[in-house]
Amino acid sequence: MQIFFGFTFFEVATGSMKDTIQIGDGVLVEITKDVKENDIIVYKEEENFITHRLVEINENGELITKGDANNAKDQPIKIDKVLGKVVYILPKIGILKKAILSKQVLILILTLIILLGVALKITTNLEEKDE
């Protein structure tokens, strides 16, 4: 996880927030503990980061979250588990990332770079001969 100017970025991997956030969407997360009900928050559970909506703060100050597409609320969490809140959703960014990083696209980019280098070398050699 990289943090830049108080923000980080995640790609959503599950459909628990379907209709609001789709699988493959990216979320820009502001690093903060200042969250309120109805915010979409990101918190750490074991080794995973979870992106769910904060639906309730109970009498013990624990946060109750729920995926928009889930039927049940999650187990309460303490505020220290919260990484931050989602401030922007980037639709389908994961699909674009996968397409750009696919083997075929990387081979195409490498081939174009090589061809461009060869073309520049040939052009330079021709210009030197003309002088």
Residue 95: pLDDT over 70: no
Stated as kind and residue range, the H or E segment containing 118 is helix 103-130
- Name the residue ranges covered by the structural domains of the chain: 7-96, 101-130
Whether 131 has a pLDDT exceeding 70, the answer reads no
Count helices and strands (H / E) in the chain: 2, 6
Other C-beta atoms closer than 10 Å to the C-beta of 22 total 15
| Residue 99 banded pLDDT, cuts 50, 70, 90 | low
- Answer for the pair 35, 43: CB distance below 8 angstroms, yes or no: no
Q: Is the pLDDT of residue 119 over 70?
A: yes
Give the closest residue to 20 by CA, choosing from 56, 70, 79, 62: 70
Give domain 7-96's CATH number out of 2.10.109.10, 3.40.50.1970, 2.60.40.10, 2.60.120.10.
Answer: 2.10.109.10
Residue 19 confidence (pLDDT): 86
